[in-house]
Structure 1
Amino acid sequence: MSFEQDKRSLYERRRNILYLMANYLSIMGLEQSRQTLIDETHLTDEFQVCDNIDLDTIYQEYCSYYQLKFGKQPHVVKKNETYTMQPPPAQPQRKPSGNRRRVQPTVKPLPMVPCRVEPEADREVRELGSKMTVSQLAIPRLAQQNNIIEPTAKAVKPVENGHSSAVKYNVRPLIRLHENYSSEWKDFADIVCRDLMKKDLHHRWSQVKGLDTAIKLLKESVVTPLQYPQLFVGLTRPWRCVLLHGPPGTGKTLLARTLCSETQESITFFNATSATLISKWRGESEKLIRVLYDVARFYAPSIIFIDEFDGLASRRDSAGEHEASKRFKNEFLTLVDGLDSGADDERVFLLASTNLPWEIDPAFLRRFEKKILVDVPCAEGRKAIINDLLPVSNEWNAEQLDELVEMTDNFTGDEIRIACKEASMMLIRNKIEDSAGSSPACSSADPDTVQFDQLKTALEQIKPASYDLIHKHREWNRKYGNHS
């Protein structure tokens, strides 16, 4: 590098630091200090700081890099031993004159030693996950490791046996700062981490009706091994791959959404989609699926959920199969169950759902240890769904409920929901008509005011759309699925 290049690099580095300082002062609301800095350094509006960088981000990434390399947090500032606290100068006392009374000021005096109040640790952890890229992502983890500073607050989550499990939040090292990965790999990691689910979807197992068998299996695969890890070793390792199949609207995606909500504090959940995993560039699709598994192992225990799995894992012996699609499926198969997979410490759970299981390649079906039919709800399940959506139905007599259960035979859970929604919409239509152009009496329909005749009329307007698929799924499940 020539002398001119060195000189220009030094100038650009100092200029960038000054712009970062001005930007940080603006973020902190110190406009007067920012203006003083601009006046002294002669900064102009010709340049501005990029959207994806600031001093706070640089500081966090440096601390993560230092922690990863040296195993401890860096010391940025230290106490000045030569500093002595000086008392504030005494104010001269003036004698009041005449009957004039002096009013004492209400402004509180400033502290003698100015200090910056640090934010709370739990708020810092929540704010770390505000970005969608791996370079700015921090995932809560199970316990404190290597003396990493973690917040004191604990998330207490009740479990079904009456006990509560406390999950400690811990900031994991950032993948982008890991020295063992290339820059290309880190770019792919940024892409797959867009599918990370970081918000609570507010679904609980108690809200899912008529799917007891599937719920029991998902708890056995994911939730129970976290509570009793000493029991799931060797041959009794947890199920690693589960396939949910059934007609549309039976609740397959609802189960995945509930599993994500129930395990949000202790498990990393990836909602992988075709838009993320499929690329038009040659070889990138295989790299993306491999990076997805690498990131899932890095943040283990993890769940990879793929909806409409038949679109990614169709049969490879079809006439119109493209060579790029075959390479992607071969790589996927190797990651699910290959030479370097299946280790005891690999805590990556694959959950897939499909409406067309007979379209999936047999090699993928072999790797799914459990293939569960999510069937239409039974009579008790349909009654529970109606009671949950319309609490007023608990007051109806047994003959009316039996009639509704009989009318909803072969209905999926979503079709029953649509019927209950249609009955509520009837109330809104009646209120709008009765208002005669004026404002309705209430803003929305109360589910408790839905009448039996309205729900019956709504059910008569809806016909089960998946009647033929129900028998086809049951026949396929008898041949290839699991009956427990």
Structure 2
Amino acid sequence: MSMAMMRAKVDAESRQGEEKKQVEKKRNVIVLCMRFFQDHGYINSVQQIQNETNINLDRIDAADNVDLHSIITEYEDFYEMRFGRKPKLTRKVASGKDDGKDGDRKLSLPKLPPEGTCNPSPPLPPSDDGSRRRERSQRAKSQDPATRGRERPPPAPSSAPSELGDRSAGGADGKPQSVEAFDGGLVGQSVGSKGGKKDPVKGAAEEAGEDHYENQVMRALPNYGADKEFRELATVISRDILSKNPGIPWDSVIGLNHAKYLLKEAVVMPLRYPQFFTGLLAPWKGVLLFGPPGTGKTLLAKAVATECETTFFNISASTVVSKWRGDSEKLIRVLFDLARHHQPSTIFIDELDALMSSRGGDGGGGEHEGSRRMKTELLIQMDGMMRDTKDQVFLLAASNLPWDLDSAMLRRLEKRVLVNLPNAEAREAMISASLPDGFAEKLDYAKLASLTEEWSGSDIRLLCKEAAMHPLRRLMAEIEAAEVSAAQADGKTNRKRAAEKAQEKEKPLASVQNLKVGAVLESDVERALQTVHRAPAAHLDRYCEWQQQFGAA
């Protein structure tokens, strides 16, 4: 590898590391705020932040010796020591006026209640976890600043249940603590922490940022101003943002090497080496995966969602099609607005032919005008006058009927890749992966691959599942026969056996617990071949012809 390539790789890794640090810092700020709200009883606020940011305190929480109050206290002490005055952290805003300095602050926070108004309910004591955090912050404040960073107080032991009722909001001398000296008239619900011991392995993996979805920090919705309609539509689209890892790495997709490389070229490489993908070499904006059903088009989309670390929109027809006039076009516009807002992002539309069939088919008399407007809006958003060439928005589409798609849509999908039926080598690899040695005995994988010609990957999976069910069925038959023979030996009727089973439903027999499912035999696979048949796949030759005429792989 040349020095220039090594330097480019190091620069890309350094830039990605810096971006991860920024995301980590933003996540830490949100976690500290959520923990502060949780300790002071603002449950609804914590739940709303969890819904908007995809951060849950059950997965990641503040460290034992860190809380928001102690951080602000240390910052104030440092600022006063350096500049001789206290820092100004807040500012007063004139009611009903806006200084125009920050456009994002037009939607102000709720005002504090005026003086003299009583609270609707008496203040509840803070949670025990919050008390321990405040005690630790007080100890940290009293330490010498030179040794504060090195010495960490051990976590306080949990108090006995009898001490909770005697503990008040004040200190030991009856005076209120400095943390609770002024609550601003805001009263929250007192809650306990759901903490407990954390898995060190899982915690280390989360801190290392290995799982994109576990560490993903979702941005707030765009500011649509006073337009509540667009904000409601954005909330509808946000439900289709993938928040759980599909768990499909590239290696689990057998075959389809060209399609996998093309998707990496379109999504992964531009994010890793953006300096190369400029001008004429700008990354691909759209890829169409077409082919017979069950060949792995949706599986490739799951691999993109797993590996590419982008905001993934899983869009279906029910999301963008509305019965109300004009809402479908607005949903398409809001979809791309959110994709640009959360970029880098990937929009996946499965069964694209259901949304973007050819306009004007059958003479143009059978298509509704609302459908035409929606298609036009989608085409404009993909490649219109207002589109920015620097937007990192990638459209991935899948279809079983590519010849029914609109020609303008095909032009915007720059790459059109045929995902065909697996060859003999891929079929053999699929069968050996589903029925490996140890789980199955004495299977001729090459022979099975030859017997499953023109089978799709989904058909092969069903065949392997049916073959694996035969040992389980034999085991179930043995268990039922043993139960019947035991009941007949005791002379019990069917009604008595049913009553005993209802009483001992959660107490399985010790003999059943030690049983194991046997291995899959060659005879099991032969029986599965007799009962399982491949799904009908029409137009096999037409896919190849269409690929030769209109494909762009």
TM-score (ref. length: structure 1): 0.65
Q: Shift of residue 364 of structure 1?
A: 0.7
The change in CA–CA distance for 1:55 and 1:478 in structure 2 (over 3 A counts) is: closer
- For structure 2, the 5+ residue unaligned runs are 1-37, 53-89, 91-100, 113-137, 140-158, 181-189, 194-205, 484-510
For the 8 Å contact 1:307–1:354, the answer to whether it is kept is yes
Aligned to 2:481: 437
For the 8 Å contact 2:233–2:331, the answer to whether it is kept is yes
Letter matched to residue 413 of structure 1: G
What CA distance in whole angstroms lies between the structure 2 residues aligned with 1:168 and 1:202?
12
Mapped pair 1:54 → 2:54: no
For the 8 Å contact 2:441–2:520, the answer to whether it is kept is no
For the 8 Å contact 2:312–2:347, the answer to whether it is kept is yes
Q: Shift of residue 168 of structure 1?
A: 11
For the 8 Å contact 1:309–1:353, the answer to whether it is kept is yes
The change in CA–CA distance for 1:254 and 1:114 in structure 2 (over 3 A counts) is: farther
Instruction: Give CA deviations for 1:138-193 in whole Å, capped at 9, x if unaligned.
Output: xxxxxxxxxxxxxx944036xxxxxxxx99967565225x2657221111101111
What CA distance in whole angstroms lies between the structure 1 residues aligned with 2:351 and 2:400?
7
Mapped pair 1:281 → 2:337: no
Aligned to 1:332: 378
1:268 equivalent among 282, 299, 311? 311
2:269 equivalent among 224, 240, 260? 224
The change in CA–CA distance for 1:56 and 1:378 in structure 2 (over 3 A counts) is: closer
- For structure 1, the 5+ residue unaligned runs are 1-26, 31-48, 78-83, 86-104, 121-151, 158-165
Letter matched to residue 540 of structure 2: I
The change in CA–CA distance for 1:181 and 1:345 in structure 2 (over 3 A counts) is: farther
Mapped pair 1:321 → 2:375: no
Aligned to 2:235: 190
The alignment partner of 2:527 has SS state of helix
Q: Shift of residue 235 of structure 1?
A: 1.0
Instruction: Give CA deviations for 1:21-59 in whole Å, capped at 9, x if unaligned.
Output: xxxxxx9798xxxxxxxxxxxxxxxxxx9xxx9354689
Question: How large is the Cα RMSD of the aligned pairs?
Answer: 4.1
Q: Shift of residue 444 of structure 1?
A: 9.2
Aligned to 2:530: 460
Mapped pair 1:299 → 2:342: yes
For the 8 Å contact 1:197–1:271, the answer to whether it is kept is yes
Letter matched to residue 373 of structure 2: R
Letter matched to residue 368 of structure 2: H
Aligned to 1:156: 210
For the 8 Å contact 2:329–2:374, the answer to whether it is kept is yes
What CA distance in whole angstroms lies between the structure 2 residues aligned with 1:115 and 1:445?
60
2:390 equivalent among 325, 333, 345? 345
Letter matched to residue 199 of structure 1: K
The change in CA–CA distance for 1:168 and 1:197 in structure 2 (over 3 A counts) is: closer
Aligned to 1:406: 450
Q: Shift of residue 464 of structure 1?
A: 2.7
Aligned to 2:419: 374
Count of aligned residue pairs for this structure pair: 362
The change in CA–CA distance for 1:167 and 1:449 in structure 2 (over 3 A counts) is: closer
Q: Shift of residue 475 of structure 1?
A: 1.7
Aligned to 1:209: 254
Mapped pair 1:474 → 2:550: no
Q: Shift of residue 296 of structure 1?
A: 0.5
Q: Shift of residue 436 of structure 1?
A: 4.0
For the 8 Å contact 2:403–2:546, the answer to whether it is kept is yes
What CA distance in whole angstroms lies between the structure 1 residues aligned with 2:246 and 2:265?
21
What CA distance in whole angstroms lies between the structure 1 residues aligned with 2:191 and 2:266?
41
What CA distance in whole angstroms lies between the structure 2 residues aligned with 1:406 and 1:230?
47
Aligned to 2:470: 426
What CA distance in whole angstroms lies between the structure 1 residues aligned with 2:392 and 2:330?
21
